[in-house]
Amino acid sequence: MTVYNYTLFNDPSATTGGTQAFGINDSGQIVGQYFSNIFRGFLLAGGTFTALNDPAAGTSSGQVL
C-alpha cells in the first residue's frame, strides 16, 4: 500500500477564499494562488512561502485560472 504524506498550509494574509494549490513539480515546489483583497500567486518551495505579484496585473479582484 502506498503511503502519502501531506502538509496543510494557508497564507496567513489570505482572506475569504483561502489558498489554492494548482501544481507541484518533481522537486516538490508548489504553485497556486491566495486571496488577500485581490488574487495573488505564490510559490511554496523548501518550506518557504513566496508571494508572486505581477506588477502589471492591476488591482482587479476577479479570479484568473
Confidence (pTM): 0.68
Q: Quote the pLDDT of residue 62.
A: 54
Contact 41, 52 (CB under 8 A): yes
Nearest to 15 by CA among 42, 39, 31, 32: 39
Q: Quote the pLDDT of residue 22.
A: 93
What are the structural domain ranges in the chain?
Answer: 19-52
Q: What is the pLDDT of residues 14-56, one digit of tens each?
A: 666 678 889 999 999 999 988 877 788 899 999 888 888 877 7
Which of the two residues, 11 and 53, has the higher pLDDT score?
A: 53
CA trace torsion 11, 22, 64, 52 (10° rounding):
50
Q: At residue 59, does pLDDT exceed 90?
A: no
